[in-house]
Chains A and B, each alone.
Chain A
Amino acid sequence: EIMLTQSPATLSLSPGERATLSCRASQSISSYLAWYQQKPGQAPRILFYDVSNRAPGIPARFSVSGSGTDFTLTISSLEPEDFAVYYCQQGSNWPPALTFGGGTKVEIK
């Protein structure tokens, strides 16, 4: 089973600053890596289906990069609504399994 490690656990930044979130896999990911945003009291919302596929309605200030075992979600200039928890996720059809990273909380400094 592939494990995903997200860092840092918490990121304290001010609006307008750049946020860089990391997701590292325990072995190379051959399928996809997705990213979700979750705000308090809400269900997660998908940001990216894979490295190159942005979900509808996601602003261009969000971008992703990476391959193999190291992936990055970047928010170029934080807006007030971006302060939330972000999760990476991967899935495989065989063996059938799906895992989430532990999450990175982006909080207002």
Chain B
Amino acid sequence: QVQLVQSGAEVKKPGASVRVSCRASGYTFIAYYIHWVRQAPGRGLEWMGWIKPKSGDTNYAQKFQGRVTMTRDTSFSTAYLELTRLRSDDTAVYYCAKVHCSSSSCSSDPFDMWGQGTMVTVSS
């Protein structure tokens, strides 16, 4: 079945970087955009950006420009999120999510599958 499995929880100090992975299975990885969404404790969902696995093209939310990098390794059907210069308010659960539609025009389509989430804690 379709699955997105993320890497485990991370604890980082302010100013450090974190990389979260998202391994896809059960579908053709390169056919569907992958998005990253985060959720601070007790807060709502915040979109961070997407990557097109086929080409590696990316689009980042303006808020994260300059601090975020999304990459992928098609050999391992895995997407990666890297966030640099971490601050305490980056403490959140980070989710990857797959769009529903496989067309190249579906960059911002709804998400039909989410990873289980990765807790990133930023604390000195």
Interface residues of B toward A: which range? 20 to 34
Is A108 part of the binding interface, using a Cβ–Cβ cutoff of 8 Å? Answer: no
* Contact partner, B108, options A50, A55, A87, A93, Cβ 8 Å: A93
Knowing A44-B114, A93-B105, the reply to whether A99 touches B47 (Cβ < 8 A) is yes
**Chain B 29-50: CB-based contact to A (< 8 A → 1; otherwise 0):** 0000001010000001111001
Q: Select which of B45, B59, B112, B116 is within 8 A of A100 by beta carbon.
A: B45
27 contacts between A and B (CB under 8 A): A32-B109, A36-B111, A43-B115, A44-B95, A44-B111, A46-B100, A46-B112, A49-B109, A87-B44, A87-B45, A89-B45, A91-B108, A91-B109, A93-B107, A93-B108, A96-B107, A97-B61, A97-B108, A98-B35, A98-B47, A98-B50, A99-B47, A100-B45, A100-B46, A100-B47, A101-B44, A102-B44
Task: Give B2-21 as 1s and 0s: 1 = Cβ < 8 Å from A's Cβ atoms.
Answer: 00000000000000000000
Residues of A within 8 A of B35 (CB): 98
The 8 closest A-B pairs by CB, nearest first: A91-B108, A34-B110, A43-B114, A100-B45, A98-B47, A96-B59, A49-B110, A103-B44
Partner-B contacts on A (CB < 8 A):
31-32, 34, 36, 38, 43-46, 49-50, 55, 87, 89, 91-93, 96-103
Q: Mark B83-124, 1 if CB is under 8 A from A, else 0.
A: 000000000000100001000010111111011110000000
When A and B form their complex, what is the total count of cross-chain residue pairs whose Cβ atoms lie within 8 Å?
61
On B, residues with C-beta under 8 Å from A are: 35, 37, 44-47, 50, 59, 61, 95, 100, 105, 107-112, 114-117
Residue of B nearest to A102 (CB): B44
List chain A residues, Cβ under 8 A from B46: 100
Query: Which residues of B are found within 8 Å of A92, using beta-carbon distances?
Result: 108
Kindly report which residue of chain B lies nearest to residue A31, judged by CB atoms: B108
